[in-house]
Amino acid sequence: MNMNSDLYAKRRAQLAAQMARLAPNSIAIIPTALERQRNRDSDFLFRHDSYFYYLTGFTEPHAWLVLTSEGQTTLFCQPKDLEREIWDGVRLGPDAAPQQLALHEAWPVTELDAKLPGLLENRAVVWYPFATHKDLSARIEVGLNAVRARVRYGALCPEQQRDVCGILDDMRLLKDAHELDIMRRAAQISARGHIRAMQRSAAMLRAGQDVREYHLDAELLHEFRQHGSQYPAYNSIVAGGANACVLHYRADAAPILAGDLVLIDAGCELDGYASDITRTFPANGKFSAAQRQLYDLVLASQDAAVAATRPGARFVDPHEATVAVLAQGLLDVGLLDKNKVGSAQDVIANRSYFQFYMHRTGHWLGMDVHDCGSYVEPSQVGTVSERRDPLSGELIKDRPSRILHPGMVLTIEPGLYVRPAPGVPERFHNIGIRIEDDAVLTANGCELITRDVPVKADEIEALMRGV
C-alpha cells in the first residue's frame, strides 16, 4: 500500500460527502493531465493534473478517477504491457491499483468509454473539472448520449453537469500538515538555489568571467535537482539590468554586468508542490545608492504586507499595506512629484503608483504556483459594490475579498519597475526590483517559509562577499 494512501482516501471521502450534500446520487469524473506532443515523437515532460493527484497521489498518465457521492471509487489506468513498460517504465496496472491506492476497483483505461454509460446511468448529476481538459465535456457527452439512448428502457440520464473544481478548490486552499511539510521543504530547496545563484554571480564577475542569465539559471537548476526537486514549478525568470522591468522575462542569454541588479524569480516543485521566490541582488554583490534606496523601499512595503497577513484579515489587505508604503515612498524618493500627483492618499486613490507597480502583491500557492481557490469570500459573493477605475474609467464590480485562515498559503511579492520616461530621475532608470516570499497563515499571523535566503540588503551583500 502507498505510504500516504489513507490521506488520499480521506480527501476522496471528503469530496464524496460534499457531492452528497450538494447533489445526492451524483458521480464525479476526474482525469489526470493529457500527454502533450513537443515535436515529432517527443512529448513534453509529463506532469500529472493537480486535482487528480490531490485525490489519488498517482502520477501515471492516462488515468481517470471516478467517484460516487456514496464514496465508491474506481480508477481507470494504463494496463500492464511488458513491451510498453520496457520503453516507458513500469505501470502500476489495474490489478495492483486498488490495494496500492486504497480504491475500491480499477480497470484498464482502454475500457473507460465502454464503461462510462453504465457509470452515468441513473445518476442525477455528473461532476467534472470544467475548462481544464481539452475535449473532456465532449467525451462525457458521448457517454451521456449512450445513456439517453436507453431511456426508453427505463434508464435515467443525469440532468445536470456541475464543475467539481468548486468543491476541490476550497479543499485545496487549506493545506494540511502533510502538504505544509512538503511546501516547507520545497521552499528550503529553492532558497538554496537563490543563494547559489547570488554567490556564483559575484564569484564569476570577480574572476573576470562572462556571466550570462543562463549561467545563473543553471545554478538554480543544479540546486533544485541536487535536492530531489523534480523540476522548476514555473519558468524561471533570471533578468539582468533593464530586463528586470519585463514582468514575465525568461532566463535568456543577456550578459550580466557588474553594476546591474539581477532579478531572479524561481522556485522548485517538490512532490507536486510549488515554491515561488524572488530575490533581487547586485550582480557583483554591492548595491549602488539608487538601487539600495529603491530596494529598501520595496522591502519596507513587503514588511508592511507581512504584518497585514494574519487570520481574520482579507486577502487584499497585504496588497493595500504594500501600496500605502510604496505610494509614500515614491513621493519621498522623487519618482512621483507631489506637485503633480498630490499626497500619498491621492497617489493611492488615483493609482498613480501603477506606472511603477503594476501587479498584485500575491496569490495562493500550493500544487500550482498560482494555486486554485476563490479570492472572494464565499459567504459574501452576493455583496457587490461598483466603482470606476481611475486610470481606465472601466466600471469595476468588487466583491468582499477572502478572509484569511490558518493553513492558507500565499505569496507576498511587492516590486518596483522603473522604465525611462519623462520626469523619471535618470539614476533610477531601468531598475527593476521584486521581493517575493511564501507565507503560511498561522494562528496569530504568518510564517515566511522562504527566508533561508536573506532578504535584507546588508545580508545579501554579506552573503555575496568573498565567496
179 is catalytic: no
Q: Which of 60, 179, 265, 371 is catalytic?
A: 265
Asked if residue 438 binds Mn ion (CB under 5 A), the reply is no
Q: For the chain, how long is the longest CA-to-CA vector?
A: 82
> How many of the chain's residues bind ligand GLY (CB under 6 A)?
7
CB atoms within 10 A of CB 455: 19
Cβ-based neighbours of 207, under 8 Å, separated by 6 or more: none
Min dist. Cβ of residue 1 to Mn ion (A): 36
Min dist. Cβ of residue 302 to ligand GLY (A): 13
215 is catalytic: no
Burial readout 114-132 (b: 16 or more C-beta within 10 A, e: otherwise): eebbebbbebebbbbbeeb
265 is catalytic: yes
What binding mask, one character per residue, do residues 320-359 give for ligand GLY by CB under 6 A, x or -? Answer: ----------------------------------------
- Please report the DSSP string for 42-76 in residue order: EEPPP---HHHHHHH----SS-EEEEETT--EEEE
d(CA 284, CA 203) in angstroms, rounded, equals 8
248 is catalytic: yes
Asked if residue 265 binds Mn ion (CB under 5 A), the reply is yes
How is residue 339 written as a grid cell? 506637485
Q: Please, how many CA atoms are within 13 Å of residue 402, restricted to the half-sphere of its CB? A: 20
Contact residue for Mn ion among 121, 276, 371, 461 (CB under 5 A):
276
Alpha-carbon 63 to chain mean position: 23
Q: Which of residues 434-453 bind ligand GLY (CB under 6 A)?
A: 436
What binding mask, one character per residue, do residues 246-285 give for ligand GLY by CB under 6 A, x or -? Answer: -------------------x----------x---------
Min dist. Cβ of residue 276 to ligand GLY (A): 5
Nearest to ligand GLY of 158, 415 (CB atom): 415
List helix spans (H) across 227-373: 289-307, 316-333, 338-341, 344-349
434 is catalytic: yes
Contact residue for ligand GLY among 51, 53, 127, 234 (CB under 6 A):
234
Min dist. Cβ of residue 371 to ligand GLY (A): 11
Q: Which of residues 408-427 bind ligand GLY (CB under 6 A)?
A: 413
How is residue 138 written as a grid cell? 465532449
Nearest to ligand GLY of 271, 413 (CB atom): 413
Q: Which of 234, 249, 295, 417 is catalytic?
A: 417
How is residue 172 written as a grid cell? 485545496
For residue 234, which phi and psi values (nearest 5 degrees)? -165, 170
- From ligand GLY, Mn ion, none, interface partner of 234 (C-beta below 5 to 8 A by class): ligand GLY
d(CA 210, CA 281) in angstroms, rounded, equals 18
60 is catalytic: no
Q: Which of residues 394-423 bind Mn ion (CB under 5 A)?
A: 411
What binding mask, one character per residue, do residues 142-181 give for ligand GLY by CB under 6 A, x or -? Answer: ----------------------------------------
Asked if residue 76 binds ligand GLY (CB under 6 A), the reply is no
DSSP 368: S
d(CA 270, CA 342) in angstroms, rounded, equals 47
Placement of cell 555575496 in the chain: 464
Nearest to Mn ion of 213, 276 (CB atom): 276
d(CA 268, CA 258) in angstroms, rounded, equals 27
Q: Which of 153, 159, 248, 426 is catalytic?
A: 248
Which positions touch ligand GLY (CB under 6 A)?
234, 265, 276, 363, 369, 413, 436
Question: What are the residue numbers of the active site?
Answer: 41, 248, 265, 276, 359, 363, 370, 413, 417, 434, 436
